[in-house]
Amino acid sequence: MVLKNRRTLATTASYSASTTSTISLPRDFLVQRINLSFVGTVVNSGTVTHVSGSPWALMKYVRVKAVGSGSSKTIYEVKGEDIGNLNYHQYGTGCKMQESPKLTGTFNDGVQFQCTIDFRTAFNDPDDFSTAVPSYLLSTLQLEIEWDTIALGWGDNNTSLSGTLKVSLVEGIPEQNDPDFSNNPLQTTLYKELVGDTSSATTEDFSTFFNVGALIRTNFLITETSAGVLSDSEIDYYTVTSGTIPLISKQNFRDSKTQDIEDWGLTSTGSALFGNAAITFAAIAPLMNQPAMIGTTTPQTSTSGIQTVTGWTAVDFMNPLSPFIRTEAGNQIDGLDTSQFNVGDLTMTLYKNNASSIIRTIQITTEG
Give the pLDDT confidence of 85-111 residue by residue, as tens digits: 899 899 987 555 778 888 999 999 999
pLDDT at 96: 56
pLDDT at 92: 83
Q: Which CATH number fits the domain that encloses residue 39?
A: 2.70.9.30
281 is a domain residue: no
Alpha helix positions (H), the chain: 80-91, 150-153, 253-264, 271-274
Which has the closest alpha carbon to 208: 359, 101, 82?
359
Q: Do 166 and 131 share a structural domain? A: yes
Q: Do 222 and 79 share a structural domain? A: no
Q: To 5 degrees, how large is the angle CA 272–CA 96–CA 58?
A: 125
Cα(357)–Cα(204) distance, integer angstroms: 11
Given a contact cutoff of 8 angstroms between Cβ atoms, the answer to whether 197 and 355 are in contact is yes
Q: Do 161 and 62 share a structural domain? A: yes
Neighbours of 10 (CB within 10 A): 7
Whether residue 55 has a cis bond before it, omega within 30° of 0: yes
Q: Which CATH number fits the domain that encloses residue 358?
A: 2.60.120.730
Fill in the amino acid letter for 101.
Answer: P
pLDDT at 308: 77
Q: Do 160 and 39 share a structural domain? A: yes
273 is a domain residue: no
Q: Please, what is the end-to-end C-alpha distance for the chain in angstroms?
A: 23
Domain count across the chain? 2
Which uninterrupted H or E stretch holds 42? strand 30-44
Cα(59)–Cα(113) distance, integer angstroms: 11
Given a contact cutoff of 8 angstroms between Cβ atoms, the answer to whether 191 and 47 are in contact is no
170 is a domain residue: yes
Q: What is the pLDDT of residues 114-168, one digit of tens each?
A: 999 999 999 999 999 999 999 999 999 999 999 999 999 999 999 999 999 999 9
Lowest mean pLDDT among 47-56, 59-68, 128-137: 47-56
Cα(319)–Cα(256) distance, integer angstroms: 14
What is the total residue count of the chain? Answer: 368
Range of the domain at 91: 1-184
Q: In Å, how far are 124, 209, 237, 284, 316 from 313, measured between CA atoms?
A: 19, 15, 11, 24, 9
Q: Do 199 and 170 share a structural domain? A: no
Cβ neighbors of 310 (< 8 A, separation 6 or more) are 230, 231, 232, 289, 290, 291, 304
Given a contact cutoff of 8 angstroms between Cβ atoms, the answer to whether 57 and 162 are in contact is no
256 SS3 class = helix
Question: Which residues share a beta bridge with 219?
Answer: 315, 363
User: What pLDDT band is residue 307 in, cutting at 50, 70 and 90?
Assistant: low
What percent of the chain has pLDDT above 90? 74
pLDDT at 268: 62
Cα(59)–Cα(145) distance, integer angstroms: 6
Last residue of a domain, one of 144, 163, 184: 184
User: What pLDDT band is residue 274 in, cutting at 50, 70 and 90?
Assistant: very low
Lowest mean pLDDT among 26-30, 33-37, 126-130, 296-300: 296-300
Q: Do 52 and 198 share a structural domain? A: no
Cα(9)–Cα(14) distance, integer angstroms: 14
The dihedral through the CA atoms of 268, 272, 277, 283 has a sign that is: negative
Which has the closest alpha carbon to 260: 219, 212, 335, 313?
313
Query: What's the pTM value of the predicted model, to 2 decimals?
Result: 0.91
